[in-house]
Amino acid sequence: MMFRTVKADMLKKLVSMVAGVLTMVSIAGCSMTTEREALVTPEDVIKSPADDRDYRYITLDNGLKVLLISDPDTDKSAAAVDVNVGSYQDPDHRLGLAHFLEHMLFMGTEKYPDVDSYSEFIRANGGSSNAYTADVRTNYYFDINSDQLQPALDRLAQFFIAPKLDPNYVEREKNAVDSEYRLHAREDGWRLFMALNSTSNPDHPKSRFNIGSLDTLHDQDGQLWQSLKDFHDKYYVASNMGVVVYGKEPLERLEQWVNTSFSAVPSGAKPDLTIGKQPYTQDELKARINIVPLKDTRVLSLSFPVPSAQPFYHIKPLGYLARIIGYEGKGSLHSLLKERGLIDSLAAYSSDLPNEYSEFTVRMELTPEGLTQVDEITAIVFDYLDLIRREGLQPWLYEESKQIAELAFRYQEDRNPQQTASGLAARMHYLPPEHLLEANYLYDSYDPELISGYLARMTPENLRQVVIAQNLSTDKVEPYFETKYSIQALSDELVKRLKTPIARQLLTIPEPNPFITGNLELHESDQASEPSVILEEPGLRVWSLTDTSFNMPRGNVRVMITTPAASATPDDNVLIQIYKSLLSRSLNEYGYPAREAGLNYSITAGRRGLLISLAGYQDKQSVLLEDILKAIETFKPEKSAFEQEKAVLVRGLKNKKFHAPYRLGMDALNQATYPSYPEDEVLLSAAEKVTYEQLIKYAHAFYKRIHVEMLVYGNHSKQEALTLSSMVESVLLNDHNRRDRFDLPFHLLGDTNRVLNMDIEHDDSMLISYYQIPETDNRERARYALLGRLLANPFFNSLRTEQQLGYVVFAGPRPFEKHPGVIFVVQSPKLDPIGIEGRVEQFLNDQKAVLSGLTDQELEQYRQGLIGDLLKKDDNMDERNGRFWQGIASDELDFENRLKIADEIRKLKPADMQSALARLMENKGKLVIRSFGEPHKKAYRKETDRTECNTIDCLKDLPVSE
């Protein structure tokens, strides 16, 4: 019995609600099976009225479940295979085996034996591919230019039919898995996750290490290869897999391809995946867990294990509770705790191990004061749970959730093909075919008894109180990441308090949401295919395009306020971030219901100024924009709020040093190329000194010299766009503050060849080699974009797969402000950056010979792949709006310049690639950013042939753009 204290009526409710579910389920340790799914017709896959794609769910003769999606208009195709096995099925003596097998399947198959040939084919044809291993699933996916789906699909199918599992690469790829593990050694996400899992039931696979390392994947018994083969043979069978194929071809053609490629997947018996053990015993419940992070992080999580909610996906009892507890509007738990200065954020959510158990969590980021009042915050949460028991089970509130979800499903926008395929494949083990698309939007019936049953599990006896902060008392160390932690029983005093809740007048159940849309009428689209300027005057330019071609009653509004005051000094860089945070904070109680109803907004700050963004149902966007502008007019935050947001910024800057070296290196590249981007230490110093009085003064001075650029796109008429711009103009602009648009200056590398040393505390070394081309014409942009594509996969194959330098290895084109560029990145636990740079240069030398033999036919697939990416149709409104806005924000106002670049790509020949590489190797316009890992410090030697820098200030003499 998984949950010993589940009441009899709750158990009956759980079992009775499962009767119509077509998947295998396990409730409270008991499993129930149903007959295998029959073939269903396309109509049985329920889709959104806005969805014009065709679907078909089939089961092959070998038992493989397949969802076919036909989209004649797509220019990207995709596929995904989800295998119902993950790290929880690792043998005890081979921890990480599921993840290791995922790596090995990319190392060639009997039919396509070349290592990395699958990834090379995908990339050459304009696509991308990847995989991930989860607890009980492993997901493989790709996208590709739509005319190459069939050969890509056949290559993927061979992963599951006849992988090579070459013993030579078994030994090599172990190093890649180990490097991945060590990459995460200083990442708190992984460190905290593994420490928390260590406080699980020791007999449950949740408690084990799951990445894999050289130690856990040892081959001392000579059986590692056989373990891989046995694992593949046992779990990688058709009955244990789900496949999604997304293409432009008719369903009949897609079905034919799937049958041809996947019918040879071994049928086999579906393995028993039942765990049937409690995730936590009594020793791990009613417990306080302390975990010490590397970063300055303060978190309180209150978690409750409950019976699996998977059988009730169509009712969502935990979703109902999460909506109330996670609410941020007036009278919410979030508002009370934030107003008292105890938390920075709050979220409520559930996770699920299907048919085993669910876990409901309330997670709060704490202020320093909140950390001293962990038990008081816990008590307030329990006070709110009591309020929900007394007043929170309301039919109207469930119906409101249903109304919001139905609108979201009715006007569901397409995701890109790869996301669609991967996401749907992950659901196929647990959902009936007809609900694959709408499961997340179903609120079939209000069931207060079911909700109460879950709420009844949220008790002190079933609580795991997790506190994450520095300097906590601990007595244990997690062995793989060396994270300090402890687990002990909750104090009797706290348990007594939690059992005697207090009624609080400031806490209420959410009020009816006033932002739920009522106007769903569509305007007629403009004849134009791109936005045009409808108003231009000093200090203001307004772009507009009415576009309802996606049949969505949605709009997007962008308001960009630019001024040199955003980043003229380090203080300005800091003040604008705090100003933005305080503005957003002042709107949160009012604006949270808007987000909940599908009317999203954000205020972001950058080195050019502020950006106000609205997206979603357009009918109430004017109301929301008016209130954002009112918040700007009446801005006067409490000093306590300023101190809280300042502390958040300071902590974030301090914690950056724990990012992976290559991420810090990429950030340094941005700092080096933008003069207005100070180093982190400079920003931190400014942030620590900034005062409330400075902030108030800055908020008023910010608007003294500004320019406003607007884009109104989607289901807004031209007149509505003018009305919105008039609102903005009346609040932000006057006769004295209008100026030209402020665009950031940036550094150019010219013909320099420099190296920037970074001092990063990490065992891995890091090297970034970045090349920048001075010309900005379309031919050069095309030439280096194609060269970057050509070099990317061979670089990965050489330095990672063959040389095993590390897990993080990538290369490709990196254009910068219209300037072409190419970048090479390696983070290595094995080699110092001087050695890495030598390997990069050797790779480029080797590629000279490769490119000298490149045929036009071989180049053609890369040409077509890149052209396909450039000319890809927009999948949804947000994507199209983003493309337009990128052009406006970057001042590249020829929105179809990509067509001209595509024309230049068509003209490129192998000789152009050879000359482009030769120019790259002249090492002019080159910047190397590097850090020496702790074991590699002694490898450092002073540069003699090029300028060496130890701070970004050393690069300030680079030429600056006009």
DSSP per-residue codes, 456-498: TT-SGGG-EEEEE-TT----EE-TTT--EEEEEEPPHHHHHHH
pLDDT of residue 15: 35
Q: List Cβ neighbours of 798 (8 Å cut-off, separation of 6 or more).
A: 843, 846
d(CA 468, CA 374): 11
DSSP string, 388-421: IIIII--HHHHHHHHHHHHHHHHTPPPPPHHHHH
State the pairing for strand pair 464-468/343-353: unpaired
Report which of 269, 308, 298, 275 is spatially closest to residue 363, judged by C-alpha positions: 298
Amino acid (one-letter) located at 204: H
* Helix 317-325 × helix 374-387 angle, to 10°: 120
Residue 105: CB atoms within 10 A of its CB come to 22
3-state SS string for 822-858: EEEEEEECCCCHHHHHHHHHHHHHHHHHHHHCCCHHH
Helix (H, G, I), strand (E, B) or coil at 442: coil
DSSP string, 11-46: HHHHHHTTTT--S-EEETTEEE--PPPPP--GGGS-
Helix, strand counts (H, E) of the chain: 29, 27
Report which of 570, 543, 565 is spatially closest to residue 739, judged by C-alpha positions: 565
d(CA 889, CA 887): 6
Does 1 have pLDDT greater than 50? no
Q: 486: which strand partners?
A: 290
The token duo for 422 is 């991967």
The token duo for 804 is 């095993």
Amino acid (one-letter) located at 263: S
d(CA 609, CA 561): 6
Does 819 have pLDDT greater than 60? yes
pLDDT of residue 959: 85
Query: Measured between alpha carbons, how far is residue 21 from residues 33, 274, 430, 459 in Å?
Result: 10, 17, 9, 29
Lowest mean pLDDT among 37-46, 126-135, 447-456, 703-712: 37-46
Does 862 have pLDDT greater than 50? yes
The token duo for 929 is 């950013």
The CA angle 919-920-921, to the nearest 5 degrees, is: 90
Does 527 have pLDDT greater than 60? yes
Sign, CA torsion 722/727/732/737: positive
Which one of the listed residues 35, 37, 102, 837 is annotated catalytic? 102
Report which of 345, 572, 417, 499 is spatially closest to residue 72, judged by C-alpha positions: 417
d(CA 742, CA 563): 6
DSSP string, 777-828: SHHHHHHHHHHHHHHHHHHHIIIIIIT---SEEEEEE--BTTB-EEEEEEEE
Does 10 have pLDDT greater than 80? no
For residue range 408-439, what is the model confidence (pLDDT) as tens digits? 999 998 889 999 999 999 999 999 999 999 99
Does 962 have pLDDT greater than 90? no
Average pLDDT, the chain: 92
For residue range 829-855, what is the model confidence (pLDDT) as tens digits? 999 999 999 999 999 999 999 999 999
3-state SS string for 315-350: CCHHHHHHHHHCCCCCCCHHHHHHHCCCEEEEEEEE
Q: List Cβ neighbours of 639 (8 Å cut-off, separation of 6 or more).
A: 692
Strands (E), 193-284: 241-247
Residue 81 CA, chain-centre distance (Å), reads 20
Does 898 have pLDDT greater than 80? yes
Residue 434 annotated among the catalytic residues of the structure? no
Does 440 have pLDDT greater than 70? yes
Report which of 221, 171, 240, 665 is spatially closest to residue 428, judged by C-alpha positions: 240
Q: 305: which strand partners?
A: 359
Q: What is the pTM assigned to this prediction? A: 0.90
- The mean pLDDT of 302-318, rounded to a whole number, is 97
The token duo for 287 is 């417990």
DSSP string, 665-682: HHHHHHHHH-TT---HHH
The C-alpha torsion from 4 through 6 and 9 to 11, rounded to 10°, is -80
E strand or H helix that includes residue 212: none
Percent of the chain with pLDDT over 70: 95
Report which of 399, 97, 344 is spatially closest to residue 218, judged by C-alpha positions: 97
d(CA 152, CA 951): 46
Query: Measured between alpha carbons, how far is residue 433 from residues 80, 243, 411, 744 in Å?
Result: 16, 12, 21, 52
Does 251 have pLDDT greater than 70? yes
- The mean pLDDT of 605-634, rounded to a whole number, is 95
CB 56, CB 45: distance < 8 Å: yes
- The mean pLDDT of 376-399, rounded to a whole number, is 97
Does 23 have pLDDT greater than 60? no
For residue range 868-888, what is the model confidence (pLDDT) as tens digits? 999 988 999 999 999 999 999
What is the 8-class DSSP label of residue 634? T
Does 31 have pLDDT greater than 60? no
Does 533 have pLDDT greater than 80? yes
- The mean pLDDT of 630-648, rounded to a whole number, is 95
3-state SS string for 689-723: HCCHHHHHHHHHHHHHCEEEEEEEEECCCHHHHHH
Query: Measured between alpha carbons, how far is residue 914 from residues 790, 795, 850, 923 in Å?
Result: 11, 16, 9, 15
d(CA 441, CA 598): 13
State the pairing for strand pair 926-931/765-772: antiparallel
Does 692 have pLDDT greater than 60? yes
pLDDT of residue 414: 85
- The mean pLDDT of 571-589, rounded to a whole number, is 96
Report which of 355, 334, 304, 244 is spatially closest to residue 15, judged by C-alpha positions: 355
- The mean pLDDT of 98-125, rounded to a whole number, is 94
pLDDT of residue 728: 97
